[in-house]
Amino acid sequence: MKKLLLLFLTVSLLVFITACSSDAEGEEPNEDTAGEEQQTEESSESDDNNEEEEATDEKVEAVFWHAMSGGGQESIEAIADNFNESQDKYTIIPEFQGSYEEALTKFRSVGGTEDAPAIIQTFEVGTKYMIDSGFIEPVQSFIDEEGYDISQLEENILNYYTVDEQLYSMPFNSSTPVMLYNKDAFEEAGLDPENPPQTFEEIKEAAEKLTVKDGDNTEKYGFSILNYGWFIEELIATQGGLFVNNDNGRTEEATEAVFNGEEGLRVFELIDDMNKAGTYGNFGSNWDDIRAAFQTEDTAMYLDSSAGVASTIENAPFEVGVSYIPYSEEAERNGVIIGGASLWMSNGIDQEKQQAAWEFMKFLQTPESQAKWHIDTGYFAINPAAYEEDIVQERWEEFPQLKVTVDQLQETKPSAATQGALISVFPEARQQVVTAMENVLQGTDPQEALDQAAEETNRVIEQANRANQ
């Protein structure tokens, strides 16, 4: 009896152990595609012997991880289909991998291995991390090899992704912040809807007039900013202020946060003053919430990404105006930092796949692809020639406000400030800024809140530098 039991236990153990190990294998992503490739390789070997013509049918498959959901995802899939049909050597397989953060976390676990996707879309603040990771092939090497002309692309966008005079990743979806305002509310309040406030002081005055109160309840706030670090970065940059030292980490590794300087303080004081005056609406840190607040006329002016402009105009039951983001009257207007994401190429994968990725990246830069992308999503066209395409011109006639976003970008003065900061601990720095912003809304002194955030950021920069020596 005991022997039987023992036997049973050993057998079940064995089963358990094997089940475990196969589970572990199952966790590796892209298992399916890897299997397919093996198949195609095998079949191509046998095909080679038979007919040479069939061998050309075997396409190189390259996986493209992106973080675009909704309309962006549909557009990417359509563009990838166009690419796959346009030639017969490569197939691009777009795969949605969750938000930028989630996709990046997944990429960390497969980066540098054969299982890594050929292309991964990473947000702008992940730039420094990607460069340092050692998992990627700079696209500059393909540009040099082929003599590809990148001067056709938008200079201000290239500026962001060029580090040490090398273009590391191919810009793809770029956006900038703009201010959206309710024109109908402007008329009701006796303001000129064609002449929106441009400086911090003007914003304060306009917000005062736009705010509608009913007893204790504020029915409509004058102005709102999403609790998201990006907007603070932009408002600092437009005054020519830096986020971190060493020219925003562009000339040398950044060692210290400087966003608590006078430019940052002006932004925080603006928020603090308006919040105390009761004209500033706080709608949290969720993009959809602040957009909903604008749609339901709970706020009359707010900052949004240019990628959200088209859908906001379409959905709003009132006339929507679009203008440049405000700047302090004590500083000059410098323009905006490019936001959004770019495409990175993995190393450690087959050269053929890299080639496929490169061909696809070039395909994405064509005016046709960019025009489709621009009107589908509202992201910028990386290639300004796209703006001459008929579909874009038609769209602009329908929504003249879209052009404002493009003008703001093209009027931007290139400088370290508008180039954007380059630090590997950006996600954490952003979190600190958001916390500071929330603290100010709860009554903390602006300078104190900023200093605290800067101090915390300094600590993580220092720690990251120590750990990555």
Partner 1 sequence: MKSATEIQGKSSTRIVTKWKFMYWRSAILYLLPSIILFSVFLFYPLGKTLYLSFFLTDQQGIANVFVGFENYQYILQAESFHKSIKATILFVLYTVPTGIVISLFLALLANEKVKGAGFFRTIYSSTMGVSVAASAVVWLFIFHPSMGILNQLITSIGGTSIDWLLHPDWALVSVAVTTIWMNIGFSFLILLGGLQNIDEHLYESAKISGASYFYQLRRITIPMLSPTLFFVTTVTLINAFQTFGQVDILTQGGPSESTNLIVYSIYREAFVNYQFGTASAQSIFLFLCILIVTILQFKFGERKVHYQ
Please give the residue ranges that form the binding site for partner 1 (CB under 8 A): 2-3, 5-6, 9, 12-13, 16-17, 20, 101, 105, 108, 129, 132-133, 216-217, 227, 282-285, 289, 292-293, 296, 298, 424-425, 427-428, 431, 434-435, 438-439, 441-442, 456, 460, 463-464, 466-469
Q: How far is the CB of 428 from partner 1 (least distance, A)?
A: 4
Q: In this complex, which beta carbon is closest to partner 1, that of residue 50 or of residue 442?
A: 442
Dihedral angle sign, alpha carbons of residues 370, 380, 74, 100:
positive
Instruction: Tell me the closest approach of the beta carbon of residue 409 to partner 1, in angstroms.
Output: 29
Q: Count other Cβ atoms within 10 Å, centred on residue 361.
A: 23
Residue spans of alpha helices (H) in 51-118: 52-55, 71-86, 100-110
CB of 365 to partner 1, least distance (A): 29
* C-beta of 205 vs 428, nearer to partner 1: 428
Length of the chain: 469
Closest CB to partner 1 among 9 and 277?
9
Beta carbon nearer to partner 1, 39 or 463: 463
Please give the Cα distance from 295 to 291 (Å, whole number): 6
* 250 close to 163: Cβ distance less than 8 angstroms: yes
Residue 460 C-beta: closest distance to partner 1, Å: 7
Alpha helical stretches, state H, 147-261 = 155-161, 183-188, 200-210, 229-237, 245-249
Q: How far is the CB of 282 from partner 1 (least distance, A)?
A: 5
First to last CA, the chain: 62
Residue whose pair of structure tokens reads 């069939």 in the numeric block? 54
Residue (368 or 428) nearer to partner 1, CB: 428
- Smallest separation (angstroms) from partner 1 to the CB of 255: 17
The residue (of 182 and 282) whose beta carbon lies closer to partner 1 is: 282
E strand or H helix that includes residue 437 = helix 426-441
User: Shortest approach of partner 1 to residue 442 CB, angstroms?
Assistant: 6
Tell which residue, 325, 395, 74, 59, has the closest CA to residue 176: 325
* Phi, psi for residue 221 in degrees, rounded to 5: -90, 155
Cβ closer to partner 1: 53 or 467?
Answer: 467
| Integer Cα distance of 329 and 350 in angstroms | 54
Burial (0-12, 13-18, 19+ Cβ within 10 Å), 260: buried
